[in-house]
Chain A
Amino acid sequence: MTARAAFWRGVLDEAPLLIGVAPFGLVYGVLALASGLSPWQAFALSFILFGGASQIVFAQLWAALAPVFVLAGSVFVLNLRHVLYSAAMAPYFRALPLRWRIVLAYFLTDEAFAISISKFQSQPDMPHKRYYFLGTGLTLWSGWQLSTLGGIWLGDLIPPALNLGFAIPLTFIALVVPVLRGRAELAAAAVAGVVALLGQSLPWNTWIILAAICGIIAGWAVDKTQRGRV
């Protein structure tokens, strides 16, 4: 397989995921403007931050006038999961020149990671892995930027009665429910979900950070007791 073929293989493998990403980006664009961000700021978030869930939370917290440390802290906690992806990709990309690793890290999203890692694990000897990953990452990136722009442009045309914003929790449900296999995952989800509800009136919208940390601790603790019993 040539580098070019590997790149296009990545593009083709990633493309079906855009069906789910497009409405998400559209909703983000609409929500960002409704939150008081300018079109440029809404687009800059897609370009600079490039992370769907954290962009939505950023917009919501911005609308709620949360202070800077809560904004940045929430985004940071939300995106901590990327450390795991980065670690999983490291064996394949560690030997590459630094400029390649910087570029690939920028494209390391949930969706590009999911497609690439399953490919690399099933075909460990595949040549030109970096080009394959670039294909998946660039495809997702283009879909996200275009659908964001679509939301920014067409925002006014989408009737509020459609409740399109509900697509966001639904997307997250689709991602979370299938991984709730063990008691530890269930505990993490339940505690985080309940603390998020109870913490709504906390100052500066710190509930997201607090709920996430409580959920992580709950999952870790249950996992630890299970581990101890074995």
Chain B
Amino acid sequence: MIWAVIILSGLLTFAARFIMLSPLAPKSIPDAAARVLRFVPVAVLSAIITPSVFLSGGAAVPLWDAQVIAAAVAAAVALISRSVLITLIAGMATLWSVGYFLG
């Protein structure tokens, strides 16, 4: 059962990667579709971010929680540095140090 889901998910993902390289592909994505697809990454990633920052074990965390502060620091660092690695280091360092002092 789970293997069927893994393979199905893999096929769907491959289809998204292959579609415009396939023999059936149109020369370019229709404008209307491109205008919608443009927002897929931002929307999807934001939907994953907020629950993992503002919830813990299914319950809301206070705004001064280490997770929230670390995410805010990471967002500021990301804006300035535009580097995944630097953002990751700043965020984890904040999470650990705030957790250490408050926890």
Q: Which of B34, B47, B74 contacts A193 (CB 8 A)?
A: B47
CA distance A165 to B51 in the complex (A): 13
Q: Which of B20, B45, B51 contacts A86 (CB 8 A)?
A: B20
Contact residues of B between 1 and 47, Cβ < 8 Å to A: 2-10, 12-14, 16-23, 25, 28-29, 34-47
Instruction: Known contacts A81-B37, A84-B29, A200-B51; decide if A75 and B12 are in contact (CB<8 Å).
Output: yes
Tell me if A195 is interfacial: C-beta within 8 Å of chain B. yes
Q: Which residue of B lies closest to A113 (CB)?
A: B17
CA distance A170 to B86 in the complex (A): 10
Are A85 and B17 neighbours in the complex by a CB distance under 8 Å? yes
Contact residues of B between 25 and 75, Cβ < 8 Å to A: 25, 28-29, 34-55, 58, 67, 70-71, 74-75
CA distance A57 to B49 in the complex (A): 11
A-B contact count (CB 8 A): 247
Q: Specify which chain B residues have a CB less than 8 angstroms from the CB of A50 in the assembled complex.
A: 10, 13
Contact residues of B between 80 and 99, Cβ < 8 Å to A: 82-85, 87-88, 91-92, 95-96, 99
CA distance A172 to B87 in the complex (A): 10
Are A72 and B71 neighbours in the complex by a CB distance under 8 Å? no
Q: Which of B3, B9, B39, B78 contacts A185 (CB 8 A)?
A: B39
Are B35 and A220 neighbours in the complex by a CB distance under 8 Å? yes
Tell me if B102 is interfacial: C-beta within 8 Å of chain A. no
Are A180 and B55 neighbours in the complex by a CB distance under 8 Å? no
Q: Which of A53, A165, A207 contacts B45 (CB 8 A)?
A: A53
Are B21 and A216 neighbours in the complex by a CB distance under 8 Å? no
Tell me if A223 is interfacial: C-beta within 8 Å of chain B. yes
Are B21 and A86 neighbours in the complex by a CB distance under 8 Å? yes
CA distance A81 to B84 in the complex (A): 19
Q: What is the interface residue range for chain A against chain B?
A: 35 or more
Are B13 and A188 neighbours in the complex by a CB distance under 8 Å? no
Are B5 and A188 neighbours in the complex by a CB distance under 8 Å? no
Shortest Cβ gap from A99 to chain B (Å): 12
CA distance A108 to B47 in the complex (A): 23
CA distance A164 to B100 in the complex (A): 15
Q: Specify which chain A residues have a CB less than 8 angstroms from the CB of B28 in the assembled complex.
A: 87, 90
Shortest Cβ gap from B45 to chain A (Å): 4
Q: Known contacts A94-B25, A175-B84; can you find 13 more A-B pairs with CB under 8 A?
A: A37-B2, A62-B2, A76-B12, A76-B13, A81-B41, A82-B13, A84-B38, A90-B21, A93-B21, A166-B70, A173-B74, A192-B42, A197-B50
Q: Which residues of A contact B (CB under 8 A)?
A: 19-20, 23, 37, 41, 44-45, 48-51, 53-54, 56-58, 62, 68, 71-72, 75-87, 89-90, 93-94, 98, 101-102, 104-106, 108, 162-163, 165-180, 184-185, 188-197, 200, 207-208, 211-216, 218-220, 223-224
